[in-house]
Chains A and B, each alone.
Chain A
């Protein structure tokens, strides 16, 4: 999942504070203008800001984590499979097709015969073996590796117990992994147990093939964001690196050997840290797409010119308030539910988020399989029911005095939101929470350690549109929940949903699990995020998907086919 904080969304992990977001409708949408004539190649330049205005920390795909890193490498490298634009299933990417053995344990990927690296060498199954082993090498300590060692690839479960300084142990661990090449174009992955979702796991950009010769050439600084990366970070995706200027910009040009040559001749990703400056630069024509700073949302919607360039895109991101269920008085589920039902979400969205986002009362957002409007009532705003729940909870009034609400004081939006919630709970429940503001890293540190009672706010954005990616969060001991939540009935349903091979069966297990989760309320759903951005009318041929999450919108499905029309 990707995460978010202050406008930045990280992939996988949970977001902290703030505000950007997504909401989803279903499926994909394509921009108009498809009959447009392309401008000459010299004008096929796209310039966007990095997501969150930050350059990548590394260009080595296996070491990446954040959206502003993925937006480079998912276009420079290509994984085995990718999501179909309507997210209904996966389709071939670097692999043309794949088979699953009848026991669900062996996945065989048939690589494209014409797959090439950007220097013209063929992409082989051995390159995938090398990439996967590097991803799982404990000496690399890849931050986003969890989905590969935890529940899936055979032999990887011991990942976390390996001593990285013990070379013999590391080597035997890597040799024992269930990844192999049976010939140049056949890559085989063995799993430790059947997993209905595994086809999605291999769509992530970081599960990329890598070039052993280039990694060796780059040495300890392979992937470092500097000019040398152009010569060593060689990928198999539609684009290749052409210029890396640290703290300033990264330029991509088409990979001449990719199967469909990209139409854009140059894509520049600029590091503009201040979102208001990026917004200004869009208006002066220096950027072709830009996220609208939330405070400007209403201005843009009312502007005769800008409103026509506005795109509002649902995205698979759910925000919530964390509750520490181990901490009194929130060890009482009725009281948690009372807080969940005790604030007006539509006012929250309008007053705090400037109307950017979608109302949501369920865990799974609109646009993702498993969205269940029938479960909306559980956490829906209802002041009198909420008050009743406080009574029923039997928590003494004295225990409700000065409950601390931890928020990220680096973010104004987070402060505003917390003040709003404070006022709502005071008015609807008669409970006064105390606001405690701390800086972002302190916030994360305390929430991770469970050193909080209630905290604003975390979010999850789908890594891939499968229920497993969402429901595993709240498993007992789940790595990505901060609530200390544990319910064996929930765990059981989720494990069944993850393992089952029939999609209908899986959907049913997940639905029951979601009902339990919303009722137990280890978190309070706040809203669904929305991509709210401006796009120049001449940029065309884009297909958006609810998975689009960075400032280069449409790149998930159409990076190679979008173009600049004559204008």
Chain B
């Protein structure tokens, strides 16, 4: 394994893409290294979050009520908030090593891991479906628009992408509900098409998924279009045409594969963004997910929930970036982790 450190002359780096060649175990070593790197990253994430959150004015007991100072003292003692910050920080670190993320200050008797565990399936289901829509819809629209540049298809796709990029999801969510839930309810005397809100593996998924996916889909579509147009102008594409290859072969074999490299870079963070949930979408559509949990915990200064969610999000984002880096190897022939 020591070889994984590689000789600098060969371009081996710790965090860079390129690693020493000629070792079949290099990918594994690379992944392990990246995973180990997450420990200091997480430490600083926790450190910064912990002290920022305590530096923010207001505390969990300030939500609205006027408690007497003695009552606040009792509450602080009950939850250990009376101790010096660095003691609280140390205790927190020791606890999370044992995977004990504490209990909520607002949701009495509820563990943070339990709260995240309860919300996660809802958020991941909607996020994964939205990701499918973003990947398939966004790339599809972008490629078609680029191949038929300045055609009707292109204009429609561009318009859609522009509208999507400039419509906030709290507007889109409410508009969808008013049109497809309330509007169709009035039109059809109650046989409305889409129920507004609530979670279920049925047509209730449609509106939240569309709302969540619309903006990133528009972004991916524009990115794909631009990248495809650029690839179309490359010499090797002209060569392919010159060789007399069929249009489809050129598009699939030469253009698509190369134009997707920047798109893949964007899809990683997009995936992390989608499966960590959206406060707005979850609030508008009454979905008990973790996006809502995170924002309400900040508003309520629910310290353990803020920390637990932040750690969770940091892990997801780091993992998504790692996956993208690994995927590069397969989509970009210029990048090599393994020989």
Residue positions of A touching B, CB distance < 8 A: 3, 5, 8, 10, 12-16, 57-58, 60, 63, 65, 138-139, 141, 143-146, 159-161, 164-165, 220-226, 245-248, 270-274, 276-277, 280-281, 283-286, 410, 438-442, 444-446, 448, 479-480, 482
Of A144, A270, A276, which one neighbours B174 at CB under 8 angstroms? A276
Knowing A145-B71, A280-B196, the reply to whether A225 touches B286 (Cβ < 8 A) is: no
CA A57 – CA B197 in complex, angstroms? 22
Of A58, A164, A482, which one neighbours B109 at CB under 8 angstroms? A58
30 contacts between A and B (CB under 8 A): A10-B65, A14-B65, A57-B106, A60-B108, A143-B67, A146-B71, A160-B70, A221-B110, A224-B109, A224-B110, A225-B110, A226-B114, A246-B115, A247-B289, A248-B198, A248-B286, A248-B288, A273-B286, A274-B283, A277-B284, A281-B196, A281-B197, A283-B182, A285-B185, A442-B58, A445-B58, A448-B62, A448-B66, A479-B66, A480-B66
Q: A80 CB to closest chain B CB, in angstroms?
A: 24
Residue positions of B touching A, CB distance < 8 A: 56-59, 61-68, 70-71, 73-75, 77-78, 106-110, 114-115, 118-119, 174, 177-178, 181-182, 185, 190, 192, 195-199, 283-286, 288-289, 292-293, 299-301
Q: B288 CB to closest chain A CB, in angstroms?
A: 3
CA A63 – CA B75 in complex, angstroms? 11
Residues in B whose Cβ lies below 8 Å from that of A448:
62, 66
Given contacts A246-B110, A283-B182, A442-B56, 11 further A-B contacts (CB under 8 A): A141-B74, A141-B78, A159-B70, A224-B110, A247-B119, A247-B288, A286-B195, A442-B57, A445-B58, A445-B62, A448-B66
Asked if B70 and A161 sit within 8 Å, CB to CB, the answer is yes
Asked if A280 and B181 sit within 8 Å, CB to CB, the answer is yes
Of A10, A281, A410, which one neighbours B64 at CB under 8 angstroms? A10
CA A161 – CA B109 in complex, angstroms? 25
Asked if A14 and B109 sit within 8 Å, CB to CB, the answer is no
Knowing A63-B108, A141-B75, A280-B181, the reply to whether A444 touches B286 (Cβ < 8 A) is: no
CA A238 – CA B183 in complex, angstroms? 38
CA A245 – CA B286 in complex, angstroms? 12
Question: For residue A224, which residue of chain B has the nearest CB?
Answer: B109
CA A63 – CA B174 in complex, angstroms? 35
Residues in A whose Cβ lies below 8 Å from that of B198:
248
Of B59, B61, B68, which one neighbours A160 at CB under 8 angstroms? B68
Question: For residue B58, which residue of chain A has the nearest CB?
Answer: A441
Q: B84 CB to closest chain A CB, in angstroms?
A: 17
Asked if A274 and B284 sit within 8 Å, CB to CB, the answer is yes
Question: For residue B77, which residue of chain A has the nearest CB?
Answer: A164
Asked if A223 and B196 sit within 8 Å, CB to CB, the answer is no
Q: A162 CB to closest chain B CB, in angstroms?
A: 8
Q: B236 CB to closest chain A CB, in angstroms?
A: 52
> How many pairs of residues, A versus B, come closer than 8 Å at their CB atoms?
156
Question: For residue B75, which residue of chain A has the nearest CB?
Answer: A141
Of A138, A224, A446, which one neighbours B57 at CB under 8 angstroms? A446
CA A222 – CA B110 in complex, angstroms? 10
Q: A484 CB to closest chain B CB, in angstroms?
A: 13
Residues in A whose Cβ lies below 8 Å from that of B67:
13, 143, 479
Knowing A57-B106, A63-B108, A281-B196, the reply to whether A273 touches B283 (Cβ < 8 A) is: yes
Asked if A280 and B182 sit within 8 Å, CB to CB, the answer is yes
Knowing A13-B66, A223-B108, A281-B196, the reply to whether A271 touches B286 (Cβ < 8 A) is: yes
Of B61, B66, B199, B293, which one neighbours A248 at CB under 8 angstroms? B199
Question: For residue B199, which residue of chain A has the nearest CB?
Answer: A248
Question: For residue A451, which residue of chain B has the nearest CB?
Answer: B57
CA A71 – CA B207 in complex, angstroms? 31
Asked if A3 and B182 sit within 8 Å, CB to CB, the answer is no
Of A57, A440, A441, which one neighbours B107 at CB under 8 angstroms? A57
Residues in B whose Cβ lies below 8 Å from that of A440:
58, 299
CA A220 – CA B79 in complex, angstroms? 13
CA A280 – CA B181 in complex, angstroms? 8
A-B pairs, 5 with minimum CB distance? A441-B58, A247-B288, A224-B109, A160-B70, A13-B65
Asked if A441 and B108 sit within 8 Å, CB to CB, the answer is no
Residues in B whose Cβ lies below 8 Å from that of A445:
57-59, 62
CA A355 – CA B66 in complex, angstroms? 29
CA A5 – CA B285 in complex, angstroms? 23
Asked if B178 and A280 sit within 8 Å, CB to CB, the answer is yes
Residues in A whose Cβ lies below 8 Å from that of B107:
57-58, 224-225
Residues in A whose Cβ lies below 8 Å from that of B119:
247
Asked if A5 and B64 sit within 8 Å, CB to CB, the answer is yes
Residues in B whose Cβ lies below 8 Å from that of A410:
299
CA A60 – CA B289 in complex, angstroms? 24
Question: For residue A142, which residue of chain B has the nearest CB?
Answer: B71
Q: B178 CB to closest chain A CB, in angstroms?
A: 7
Q: Which residue among A10, A16, A274, A439 has the maximum number of chain B CB atoms within 10 Å of its CB?
A: A274
Knowing A247-B293, A281-B196, the reply to whether A441 touches B301 (Cβ < 8 A) is: yes
CA A55 – CA B118 in complex, angstroms? 15
Q: B224 CB to closest chain A CB, in angstroms?
A: 33
CA A448 – CA B114 in complex, angstroms? 33
Knowing A222-B109, A224-B109, A277-B196, the reply to whether A14 touches B283 (Cβ < 8 A) is: no
Q: Which residue among B67, B177, B289 has the maximum number of chain A CB atoms within 10 Å of its CB?
A: B67
Q: B122 CB to closest chain A CB, in angstroms?
A: 9
Question: For residue B184, which residue of chain A has the nearest CB?
Answer: A284
CA A270 – CA B293 in complex, angstroms? 16
Asked if A277 and B177 sit within 8 Å, CB to CB, the answer is yes
Question: For residue A273, which residue of chain B has the nearest CB?
Answer: B283
Q: B69 CB to closest chain A CB, in angstroms?
A: 8
Asked if A246 and B283 sit within 8 Å, CB to CB, the answer is no
Q: A459 CB to closest chain B CB, in angstroms?
A: 10
Q: A161 CB to closest chain B CB, in angstroms?
A: 7
Q: A293 CB to closest chain B CB, in angstroms?
A: 11
Residues in A whose Cβ lies below 8 Å from that of B197:
272, 277, 281
Q: A250 CB to closest chain B CB, in angstroms?
A: 12
Residues in A whose Cβ lies below 8 Å from that of B64:
3, 5, 8, 10, 13-16, 444
Residues in B whose Cβ lies below 8 Å from that of A273:
283-284, 286, 292
Asked if A284 and B65 sit within 8 Å, CB to CB, the answer is no
CA A281 – CA B198 in complex, angstroms? 11
Question: For residue A159, which residue of chain B has the nearest CB?
Answer: B70
Asked if B57 and A221 sit within 8 Å, CB to CB, the answer is no
Residues in A whose Cβ lies below 8 Å from that of B199:
248
Of B65, B118, B300, B301, which one neighbours A247 at CB under 8 angstroms? B118
Q: A204 CB to closest chain B CB, in angstroms?
A: 14
CA A439 – CA B63 in complex, angstroms? 11
CA A3 – CA B62 in complex, angstroms? 13
Of A146, A276, A441, A446, which one neighbours B63 at CB under 8 angstroms? A441
Residues in A whose Cβ lies below 8 Å from that of B181:
280, 284
